[in-house]
Amino acid sequence: MSDSAVLHTEDLTKKFGELVAVDGVSWSVDAGATKAIIGPNGAGKSTFFNLVSGVLSPTSGNVSFNGEPIASKKEHEIARLGLIKTFQQTNIYEESTVFENIRIAAQMKETTFNMWARADSLTSVTERTEEILSRLGLDAERDRTASDLPHGLQRKVEVGIALATEPDVILFDEPIAGMSEEGRHEMLEVLSEISADPSLTIVITEHDFDFIMDIADEVTVLHQGAVLTEGTPDEITKNDQVQEVYLGGE
């Protein structure tokens, strides 16, 4: 593990009965990096994310976040520490506007972390909401009701809700699964935009290798629950073993 790792796992294992879904994974991501975890369906990507984010508890092994062991913590405790998984526990308020959805998340952060909120805290909540809307290109959508938005834009709002809580790490589990071409394009834009933020660490799982090529600094290849290899997107593209897993896998 490097000293700059914000999140790391040590020999992390999850068994479902006889099946070893995650098999002794020792892995880390540096603060500020954008890292992808790729692998064919069934490789263990979602299970790995569920272990790291506290949705599941490991059979054995450790997870640490900002130097603190978190494997025994609950999902909401881990989220409060600043490690969140999108599209799962972020809930859109269907009847509220895009602006309100993001403002509520920003407000919750403010009241949770700042009990003696200063008089100007409402201004800062509004400012942060405005900043996120423009960052994600959602200005034109601000007054639309969330339930009226197409799938791709709803996902953007969910990213906005996640950003409003000012996390250190965001996990995206197959963010473009089931999306139209337009939705995929929009998600790519959003991920490129937020991955440029040096204070944010992003981990993305994908089975579509092409999608992560342009956004990831580093790629981990998971195969049958274990790390097959790691490298830059370029190195992974040229890796014969990886080609074999992909060509032989699905």
Contacting positions for ligand ADP (CB under 6 A): 16, 19, 21, 39, 41-47
> In this complex, which beta carbon is closest to ligand ADP, that of residue 42 or of residue 231?
42
CA distances, 178 to each of 4, 146, 201 (Å):
35, 19, 24
The entry of ligand ADP, Mg ion, none near residue 16 (CB within 5 to 8 angstroms by kind) is ligand ADP
The entry of ligand ADP, Mg ion, none near residue 91 (CB within 5 to 8 angstroms by kind) is none
> In this complex, which beta carbon is closest to Mg ion, that of residue 93 or of residue 209?
209
Place of tokens 């938005």: 149
Tell the smallest beta-carbon distance from residue 56 to ligand ADP (Å): 8
Instruction: Give the helix ranges, DSSP H, for the chain.
Output: 45-52, 75-81, 98-113, 121-135, 151-164, 181-195, 209-213, 233-237, 240-249
Evaluate whether 98 touches 133 at the Cβ level (below 8 Å): yes
> In this complex, which beta carbon is closest to Mg ion, that of residue 141 or of residue 206?
206
Interaction of residue 46 with Mg ion, rule CB under 5 A:
yes
Tell the smallest beta-carbon distance from residue 44 to ligand ADP (Å): 4
> In this complex, which beta carbon is closest to ligand ADP, that of residue 46 or of residue 53?
46
> In this complex, which beta carbon is closest to ligand ADP, that of residue 4 or of residue 60?
60
SS (H, E, C) 184-212: HHHHHHHHHHHHCCCCCEEEEEECCHHHH
Q: Alpha-carbon distance 140 to 161, whole Å? A: 17
Of the candidate spans 45-53, 60-68, 99-107, 180-188, the one that interacts with Mg ion by CB under 5 A turns out to be 45-53
* Window 50-89: residues binding Mg ion (CB under 5 A): none
The entry of ligand ADP, Mg ion, none near residue 41 (CB within 5 to 8 angstroms by kind) is ligand ADP
On the CB side of 104, CA atoms within 13 Å amount to 14
Tell the smallest beta-carbon distance from residue 215 to Mg ion (Å): 18
Of the candidate spans 37-45, 65-73, 177-185, 214-222, the one that interacts with Mg ion by CB under 5 A turns out to be 37-45
Q: Alpha-carbon distance 9 to 78, whole Å? A: 15
Structure tokens at 141: 């959508």
> In this complex, which beta carbon is closest to ligand ADP, that of residue 40 or of residue 231?
40
Q: Alpha-carbon distance 210 to 29, whole Å? A: 21
- Binding interface with Mg ion (CB under 5 A): 45-46
